[in-house]
């Protein structure tokens, strides 16, 4: 259905805008990771593997040039742990040199990097040893983080230790739809604890090496609303779901307080273990008893996720009150292969941010720069501002990408930009 016209379409933004990617999803080539092994066994819905992806490993300079041409000055990128440390006791000098070159290329083009150390993927050898469930896993992760900071820390001073530990733990250790394919609540909670312990240990070590570094986690936060707001059981179920999926874990990550059902790791003391609150936001679920679903007759993207812009600000307000300090929206974007509504999606979410001037939102990173290999969805889900032909590797800036470039250039949305890109955009609704 056509979007309703906005009577006051222009607004200004106080936050800086950038784009986000993940190493496994764009680099291409083979690394011995749990995801490469999983995909080789047909794990992706379209039976593709990240060996192709966007061939970014060989196109670093061209992709940086394309970013710069769009005015992008902030870029969240990931490092592939398995490339840097292909075996437990060995670091690869060539891989570290590659990432050092990439960071230099970005710096030379005026692009500030925000570096992610772990984005859903473990080296094969680490997974074989039990991953983050293994004794001493946090120490193994710290050795990796330490080596990275020692090698490239002069080119990067902002770090995300772990991306969406709740999603990684939930999908990989409870649902079993992601590697390592475990399916117990106990394993999920153990993964949550292990990932939080690793973050805290890495946070401390990075600050020991770089006292002025900014270190945080990219937290996946989701709105959970009761299906029937007047029903006390649905309200309780929604609150419980939020606590179990994100509330308890965020407290552990940020404050070092592991509340039930999480278990306080030995040697971890309460404190402050974040320099910014990272928020990845995509959608909302409605909860009734033990069940969660997408609401009916709401705007949805290609994956059936509800488009709910108000949730971004609601979550930022709720969690920044608990964890004060700068807020980075470390991911926000939508699957829209036809580019039919991405400009509208961007407009609605950025307008929500602009209207929340009381919140300390300093950065916004759009997910993602170019189409990529989207985990279990393979090549089918298209989140990019830049369209990718996986066969030819040709990049084409979408109209939504040109809109985003205009927003960056003008630090907001002008009435002309609204009329050109947003007004023609429209959402579709589900049943």
Beta bridge partners of 288: 291
Phi, psi angle pair for 9, to nearest 5°: -75, -20
Whole-model pTM: value is 0.97
Burial level of 399, CB count in 10 A (0-12/13-18/19+)? middle
Measured CA to CA, the distance from residue 337 to residue 253 in angstroms comes to: 35
Closest alpha carbon to 301 in 333, 348, 349: 333
CA distance 122 to 35: 8
**pLDDT one digit per residue (tens) for the chain, 431 residues:** 444 556 668 999 999 999 999 999 999 999 999 999 999 999 999 999 999 999 999 999 999 999 999 999 999 999 999 999 999 999 999 999 999 999 999 999 999 999 999 999 999 999 999 999 999 999 999 999 999 999 999 999 999 999 999 999 999 999 999 999 999 999 999 999 999 999 999 999 999 999 999 999 999 999 999 999 999 999 999 999 999 999 999 999 999 999 999 999 999 999 999 999 999 999 999 999 888 999 999 999 999 999 999 999 999 999 999 999 999 999 999 999 999 999 999 999 999 999 999 999 999 999 999 999 999 999 999 999 999 999 999 999 999 999 999 999 999 999 999 999 999 999 999 98
Q: Tokens 């602009």 sit at which residue? A: 354
Which neighbouring-strand residues pair with 329? 279, 364
What are the CA-CA distances from residue 340 to residues 274, 344, 347, 361 (Å)? 37, 9, 13, 28
Rounded-to-integer distance, Cα 259 and Cα 348, Å: 35
CATH for the 11-426 domain, from 3.40.50.2000, 3.40.50.170, 3.20.20.80, 3.40.50.300: 3.20.20.80
Helix (H, G, I), strand (E, B) or coil at 35: helix
Domain locations in the chain?
11-426
Q: Quote the pLDDT of residue 394.
A: 98
| Helix axis angle, 185-209 to 248-255, nearest 10° | 20
Locate the DSSP E strands across 58-141: 74-78, 112-118
pLDDT at position 7 is: 63
Residue 346, burial from CB neighbour count under 10 angstroms (0-12, 13-18, 19+): buried
């Amino acid at each position: 259905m056509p979007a309703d016209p906005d009577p006051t379409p222009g607004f200004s933004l106080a936050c800086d805008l950038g784009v986000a990617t993940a190493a496994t999803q764009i680099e291409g080539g083979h690394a011995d990771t749990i995801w490469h092994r999983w995909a080789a066994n047909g794990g992706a819905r379209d039976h593709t593997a990240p060996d192709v992806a966007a061939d970014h490993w060989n196109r670093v300079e061209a992709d940086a040039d394309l970013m710069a041409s769009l005015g992008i000055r902030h870029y969240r990128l990931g490092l592939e742990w398995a490339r840097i440390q292909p075996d437990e006791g060995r670091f690869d000098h060539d891989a570290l040199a590659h990432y050092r070159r990439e960071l230099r290329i970005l710096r030379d083009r005026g692009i500030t990097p925000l570096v992610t150390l772990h984005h859903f993927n473990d080296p094969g050898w680490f997974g074989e040893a039990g991953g983050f469930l293994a004794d001493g896993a946090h120490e193994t992760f710290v050795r990796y983080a330490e080596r990275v900071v020692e090698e490239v820390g002069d080119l990067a001073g902002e770090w995300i230790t772990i991306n969406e530990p709740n999603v990684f733990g939930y999908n990989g250790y409870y649902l079993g739809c992601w590697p390592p394919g475990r399916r117990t609540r106990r394993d999920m909670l153990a993964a949550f604890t292990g990932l939080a312990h690793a973050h805290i240990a890495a946070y401390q070590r990075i600050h020991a090496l770089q006292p002025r570094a900014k270190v945080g986690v990219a937290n996946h936060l989701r709105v959970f609303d009761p299906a029937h707001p007047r029903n006390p059981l649905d309200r309780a179920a929604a609150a419980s779901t939020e606590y179990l999926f994100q509330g308890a874990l965020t407290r552990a990550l940020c404050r070092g307080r592991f509340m039930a059902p999480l278990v306080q790791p030995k040697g971890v003391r309460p404190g402050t273990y974040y320099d910014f609150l990272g928020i990845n936001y995509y959608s909302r679920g409605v909860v009734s008893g033990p069940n969660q679903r997408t609401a009916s007759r709401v705007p949805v993207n290609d994956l059936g996720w509800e488009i709910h812009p108000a949730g971004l600000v609601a979550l930022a307000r709720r969690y920044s009150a608990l964890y004060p300090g700068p807020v980075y929206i470390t991911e926000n974007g939508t699957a829209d292969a036809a580019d039919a509504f991405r400009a509208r999606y961007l407009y609605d979410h950025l307008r929500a941010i602009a209207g929340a001037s009381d919140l300390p939102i300093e950065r916004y990173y759009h997910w993602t720069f170019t189409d990529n290999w989207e985990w279990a969805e393979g090549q089918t889900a298209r989140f990019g501002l830049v369209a990718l032909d996986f066969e030819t590797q040709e990049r084409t800036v979408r109209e939504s990408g040109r809109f985003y470039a205009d927003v960056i250039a003008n630090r907001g949305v002008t009435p002309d930009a609204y009329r050109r890109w947003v007004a023609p955009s429209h959402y579709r609704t589900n049943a």
